[in-house]
Amino acid sequence: ALLNNNIEKILAEKSLVSHFLGKRGHNVTIFMEGFPGMNKQPGAKESENVTNHVFILEDKAHFAEIMSKDLQILTWRTSHTSSLGIIVPWRFFGLASQGLIERNRSYVDRVLFQEKWDLVFNDAIFAPMGIVTALKTNSPLAFLSTTALQVGHMIHRPLPHPWSYAPTFYMDSHVYDHKIFSSRLKSFLADVEDVVITAFVDHFVTRPQFSKIHPAISLDRFFGRSKFVVLAFPQILDYVRPSTRDLVYSSGSCNGERGVSKSDALEGEIKQFVDDPASKGTIVVAFGHIVKWSQAPRRAKLNFVEALNSLEDYRIVWQFDEDRKDYSIKAHILTMAWIPQDALLHHKRTQLFISHGGLKSITETICAGVPALVIPFFAEQIRNAHLLEKSGVGLVVSKLNLTSDVVIRKSLRILEDGQKNFKFKIDRLRSFMNDQIIDSNQNAIFWTEFFLRHNGEIYEKNFFRLRATYMTFFQYLMIDVLSSILILMMICFVAIRMCFKVRRE
């Protein structure tokens, strides 16, 4: 029986966790904000217990300026190697959610605010709608992170972060040596900046945007009130760090169902294209659903097309949202608005994946055993890209340095010079991901149902919540204790000096 024969009502973002919860019989509602032209799989379906509310933000009067300006800045023109990069996306998605609520209040009230949820799952970054819903309805809350947790978020629970040997969330390189003072200092300062910028976003972006809808909204309440955290990221990629009872791993594996069928057979035009006997192999190019080539700087597009055009010995399948005739794209490149990414990656002739480094993409490329050339754009993608390079299964190209020479050189390094080396390392990484005592997705489902079964504040405090959750910042960092010891030492030092002074006199 599931949860003592009670089917729980869960509000979640679209993820493998919500997919499997629906298959387990829970009543799952997925609320997503989408943009016009998002390249989703045609005819994609969820299980019968999952209800999708996908709200397309197409009110041009409200969103045209935001989408044309902020989204272009966010994806193509902003460096996200520091926490300053989170201000633009938090503002962007906040304005989008705020406008959605104000212009569709009766709809949002009906499907979100007037419901009583047994659990609200929300993304840890750029998802203010879930934060508002959980706090406004006073529903139990959990947050899901698609990468390593930011210190600016962890400090609100607080979850342990070993500053001495784990690098900052905002990695600007795959190289980090915890034994070198300068590396640790740089990482520590980046984490301090993260805490400050997250507080700035909370007080000067999120609260002003949503205070009229829910006066008590704050990121501090969101992270502090969350009953548990689901970390949906391949842990084998990241640096080893301490864990807690309320930190649940759903790091993905390549065994069993992942929500996207790996056995989807290629057919028709794509199959004929990639099976071309004149081809040395296939290159798959896809950058997710938010990044639009139509918003890219023209110079970046021309450079990228020039690079792909030069790889004529290969067949390239490119998810591209513009008219190919405008860019003189050669015949060895197939462009489509949507591509069957997972099926292409698992095709026997695929040798390289040029990707943005999102969670789904890095998991799929590891499971398919295909090395990656990653061009990260924002948020966790930068860290994901550097972790792939650290593991020896990919290389990174900066979107701000998207020249044809760089793309060609690094692509050929994987395809020719290092194909055996990259392939060996990614196959080894895949074997590590699969060698688990329990499938990590099933692990996340078990602990989600566990917390729902034992949804009591006393139980939570006594067994799962870190005691640090109920401590002040000064208590948690032992500042009060260390200060007391320092003061006591100073008093002893002064007293000893006075004693010696009296003896001399």
Q: How confident is the model at residue 4 (pLDDT cuts 50, 70, 90)?
A: very low
Does the structure show a pLDDT above 80 at 199?
Answer: yes
Residue 415: what pLDDT? 92
Check whether 384 has a pLDDT greater than 70.
yes
Tokens, residue 95: 């304005």
Of the candidates 286, 207, 271, 253, the residue with the CA atom closest to the CA atom of residue 439: 253
Dihedral angle of Cα 168, 422, 379, 345, to the nearest 10 degrees: -150
Please tell me whether residue 375 adopts helix, strand or coil conformation: coil
What pLDDT does residue 3 have? 37
367 touches 254 (CB < 8 A) = yes
Region 233-246: what's the mean pLDDT?
85
Residue with token string 């074997």: 431
Average pLDDT of span 309-324: 92
Spans of all domains in the chain: 10-37+46-253+437-470, 268-434, 473-504
DSSP 169-231: SS-SSS---TTSHHHHHHHHHHHHHHHHHHHHHIIIIIHHHHTTT-TT--HHHHHHH-SEEEE
Res. 73 pLDDT band, cuts 50 70 90:
low
Contacts of 398 (CB under 8 A, 6+ apart): 375
Q: Per-residue pLDDT tens for 327-340? A: 889 999 999 988 99
At 234, the pLDDT band (50, 70, 90 cuts) reads: confident
Residue 287 has pLDDT above 50, yes or no: yes
Strand order in the sheet with 394-396: 333-336, 315-319, 282-286, 350-355, 372-374, 394-396
Evaluate whether 10-37+46-253+437-470 and 268-434 have a shared fold.
Answer: yes
pLDDT of residue 301: 92
Question: Considering only 173-187, 203-217, 263-277, 381-395, which range has the smallest mean pLDDT?
Answer: 263-277
Q: In angstroms, rounded to a whole number, what is the distance separating the alpha carbons of residues 161 and 466? A: 13
pLDDT at 329: 92
Rounded alpha-carbon distances, angstroms, from residue 251 to 148, 372, 473: 11, 19, 30
Pair 304, 333: CB distance under 8 Å = no
Mean pLDDT across 288-316: 90
Averaged over 361-379, what is the pLDDT?
91
Please give the angle made by the CA atoms of 219, 220 and 225, to the nearest 5 degrees.
Answer: 100
pLDDT digits (tens, 9 = 90+) for 52-62: 666 655 554 55
Residue 135: pLDDT over 60 = yes
Q: Order of strands across the sheet with 119-123?
A: 50-56, 27-34, 9-12, 119-123, 141-145, 228-231, 247-249
| Model pLDDT, residue 72 | 66
Q: 400 vs 71, which has greater pLDDT?
A: 400
Q: What are the tens digits of pLDDT across the range 411-447?
A: 999 998 766 789 899 999 998 888 888 888 888 888 8
pLDDT tens-digit profile of 437-491?
A: 888 888 888 888 888 887 765 555 667 777 777 787 788 888 899 999 999 999 9
- The helix or strand, by DSSP H or E, that contains position 360, with its residue range, turns out to be helix 359-368
Return the CATH number of the domain spanning residue range 10-37+46-253+437-470: 3.40.50
C-beta of residue 118 within 8 angstroms of C-beta of residue 8: yes
Peptide bond into 158 cis (omega under 30): yes
CB burial of residue 177 (10 Å; 0-12, 13-18, 19+): exposed
Indicate the DSSP class of residue 286. E
Residue with the bigger pLDDT between 122 and 252: it is 122
CATH class label, 268-434: alpha beta
Position 30 scores a pLDDT of 79
Burial class (CB in 10 A: 0-12, 13-18, 19+), 53: middle
pLDDT tens-digit profile of 35-46? 555 545 544 555
Q: CB burial class (10 A; 0-12, 13-18, 19+) of residue 119?
A: buried
Average pLDDT, the chain: 82
